[in-house]
Structure 1
Amino acid sequence: MKMAIILNIQVYLCMFFAFLQTEGTRNYKENAIIINNFLRQPGWNNINDVELIKYGNNKHELKNLIFNPVKLFNCNDCIRQAMLFLGCSYANDLDLINFSLTKFQEHCFELLVSSYTSAHNCTITLLMKMIEIVPMAECMKGALDAIDKYYIFSRNSERRRNRIILSRLLTNIQEGKTLLTTLRTSLLSIEDVLKTIAEILLSRRKELDEDKSFCQLKHLDFDSLWNLWILECNTLKFQELFIFLGDKISNFILTTIKKKYIDLGFKFDWNTNQTFLPVQLSTSYNHGMAQNLSTNFTQNTNYVNTQETIKKNDITAYPSILRINDVEIREDIRQENNNCEVNDDDSAELVYYPKGQEPFNKYL
């Protein structure tokens, strides 16, 4: 009898510790309510570029996540799935931006053959766009971290705390701002600066490929998209392709923040630079947030139109895959751009240097 009791106790202890080691750790009621409300935000309709995510040796569809109620027993799973769906969608956006920047860099390199001045202006604009991505990366990482805060870790999942999708890439993008800023005033040649940019973009591409292993994304033909951009640029009669590409990237950054941050109800504290999940559903919050975020984003990214062409050719009036659909945000951006000073110092006297080796900062 005593032996049976001891065996039963051992069995119960084994079951207890096995429960602690599973991913099915129960969450708190308050967290379940918050996550349930979060998954009812209208912005989830914008996560339409992710077909499936891979989690827990299974594949999951978004419709099952946003339509099924969040309870204590499935709260942790819902949190992980929400992070992966949003992270995969962010990865898709970053992939498109990385593709755009790569084409941008290649175009700047081609300009070295015909015009050093144009190549310099192109590279300066490229660096500005790469710096402009940093606030978007901060929003993305803040959003994913805000979701992760509600996850209750079991003992065996502690090792996974640092394996948040896109965490390393988004951190590297933010930390890379110093290097990009330094390159703008560098003594390196234009060619060397462009080679450094190419290395940065290649590194980001490799990190993206690793994170996208969690995702099954809808296919986007980048080559066809590039041909579409060339056609659109010619139709709009842009003087420089790099100006057109810069405008595309700026529009896409703001569109992404609007659709996949603001519309998801994330709250940003400008004093602490932290992102929080909405505690409850709100219909009045997004309107004011859209205006504040677009204004602060424009102010904090040094978004300056260095060419009058951008002002004269408003491509937002034309159909495009990268478009700001929200009229109020678009008006905010235009008002901010009108208040920016245009740098006319690009007409500095040219000095002869060996082909492609002129100092990058000789125009600064």
Structure 2
Amino acid sequence: MFLLKLYTFSFVLFSVMMYTNSKTTLRETVDQLDKMLRYSGWKNLNDLISITYYRKVYYLQKLIKIPTKRTKGGQKIRALTIYLGCTYSKVMNDLLLVIINVLKVCRKKFVEENDIKKGCICTEQLVNIISLLISPLATLLKDAMDALDLLHEIPMAYYKNIYKISPNLGKIGNILDNLNERTLSRNNISSYLWTLNTIEEFYQKIGGKLYNDTVLYCEFVTFNTSSLWKEWNIEYNAIINKNIKLGFFKFLKGQIKNYIKTIIVEKYFQLGFKYDPFLEETFIPISYKSFEIELDLKKIDEEPPIPIQIENH
């Protein structure tokens, strides 16, 4: 009983200390944050109108323009982290809607057209896109959000019931764990149908969670759209109508690859995040030099050092 009381007291004391320390953000952290916000990418985030946190509405332009006060540092970090989470949710939602539409095409090959060969190829290509493009991007965005959140004295990871965007991004990144439960085999067509069902159930569930986790915090310009899929279909049909031979999946992978490059440049590197390829970690530098910022942006615009392996065929 004494040990239990001691443990309880220690936990309460630790919580009080964390709460007290959270009132004032360290000067070094404030400087680190303000220097990060000098990156031009923050001014170009335009997927949201505002975010709401503890009944207070925050607008991004005000957050990045007003110098951070130490007494408001934690509040600002939290607001920016939520804003970033909303932005990344929109990115992943758009890509998940593309995946769901591709999945319908694959299933149609099996069920309606009874074209087993094309159905198998379609499913294999879909898994390839998820493993090489979608999953790594989700992991990268999660790491960026976590890196910003870690500037706060009490990161959101310490809470059980607050803003689950980061964990859900992690689940999207780990979907391969689900798919690896069964190996695709053309000698067992049911393995393909199982894979399609697993992808659909998983992404619909995650998509619903992303929406639920953002609805209380994020006011989007628009969220639930299939604009990417529609835009790419129109573009592909225009190419085919010109009698240019181009496989649908080759076209689709090219579109997703370019889209992801744009996301990584505009919503990762141009926000001041850095990637350590040796540790495979995202971090926020302690200090930035103005000339390094401009140099980095020019280098990024030419060819971003994307920490995602993308096939070129």
Partner of 2:81: 83
Partner of 1:33: 31
Q: Secondary structure at the match of 1:52?
A: strand
**1:54 counterpart (20, 42, 52):** 52
Any gaps of 5 or more consecutive residues in structure 2?
Answer: 1-14
Partner of 1:208: 210
1:54 and 1:239 map into 2 onto residues whose CA distance is: 45
CA gap of 1:202–1:125, structure 2 versus 1, over 3 A, is same
Residue 42 (structure 1) shift: 0.7
TM-score normalised by L of structure 1: 0.70
Task: Write out per-residue CA displacement over residues 51-90 of structure 1, whole angstroms, 9 at most, x where no aligned residue.
Answer: 1111121111111101110120111111011111111110
Whether the 8 Å CA contact 2:21–2:153 is kept in 1: the answer is no
The one-letter amino acid paired with 1:160 is: Y
CA gap of 1:118–1:240, structure 2 versus 1, over 3 A, is farther
**1:197 counterpart (196, 199, 205):** 199
1:273 and 1:229 map into 2 onto residues whose CA distance is: 32
Counting aligned pairs with the same residue, the percent is 26
Partner of 1:333: none
Mean Cα deviation higher: 144-153 or 85-94 = 144-153
How many residues end up aligned between the 2 structures?
A: 283
Task: Write out per-residue CA displacement over residues 7-45 of structure 1, whole angstroms, 9 at most, x where no aligned residue.
Answer: xxxxxxxxxx99985796101000000111111211112
CA gap of 1:209–1:22, structure 2 versus 1, over 3 A, is farther
CA gap of 1:220–1:179, structure 2 versus 1, over 3 A, is closer
Residue 259 (structure 1) shift: 0.8
CA gap of 1:23–1:98, structure 2 versus 1, over 3 A, is farther
Q: What is the correspondence of 1:110-129 to structure 2 with a 5 Å cutoff?
A: 110-112=108-110, 113-114=112-113, 115-129=115-129
2:74 and 2:214 map into 1 onto residues whose CA distance is: 21
Partner of 1:267: 274
Partner of 2:9: none
TM-score normalised by L of structure 2: 0.80
Whether the 8 Å CA contact 2:30–2:73 is kept in 1: the answer is yes
The one-letter amino acid paired with 2:120 is: H
Q: Does residue 143 of the first structure (1) align with residue 154 of the second (2)?
A: no
Q: Does residue 234 of the first structure (1) align with residue 246 of the second (2)?
A: no
Whether the 8 Å CA contact 1:139–1:275 is kept in 2: the answer is yes
The one-letter amino acid paired with 2:202 is: I
Partner of 1:280: 288
CA gap of 1:184–1:235, structure 2 versus 1, over 3 A, is farther
Task: Write out per-residue CA displacement over residues 332-354 of structure 1, whole angstroms, 9 at most, x where no aligned residue.
Answer: xxxxx2xx6xxxxxxxxxxxxxx
Residue 275 (structure 1) shift: 1.3
Partner of 2:5: none
Residue 148 (structure 1) shift: 1.4
Q: Does residue 101 of the first structure (1) align with residue 104 of the second (2)?
A: no
Any gaps of 5 or more consecutive residues in structure 1?
Answer: 1-16, 305-336, 341-364
1:221 and 1:241 map into 2 onto residues whose CA distance is: 24
1:226 and 1:170 map into 2 onto residues whose CA distance is: 21
CA RMSD of aligned residues (A): 2.8
Whether the 8 Å CA contact 2:52–2:58 is kept in 1: the answer is yes
Residue 192 (structure 1) shift: 2.3
Residue 247 (structure 1) shift: 2.8
CA gap of 1:209–1:21, structure 2 versus 1, over 3 A, is same
Whether the 8 Å CA contact 2:50–2:57 is kept in 1: the answer is yes
2:130 and 2:117 map into 1 onto residues whose CA distance is: 20
Residue 185 (structure 1) shift: 3.0
Q: Does residue 63 of the first structure (1) align with residue 65 of the second (2)?
A: no
Residue 158 (structure 1) shift: 8.3
Q: What is the correspondence of 1:174-189 to structure 2 with a 5 Å cutoff?
A: 174-181=173-180, 183=182, 185-186=184-185, 187=188, 188-189=190-191
Task: Write out per-residue CA displacement over residues 233-277 of structure 1, whole angstroms, 9 at most, x where no aligned residue.
Answer: 110116544443333222222211111111112111112122111
Task: Write out per-residue CA displacement over residues 255-312 of structure 1, whole angstroms, 9 at most, x where no aligned residue.
Answer: 1111111111211111212211132242223445674623x423xxxx33xxxxxxxx
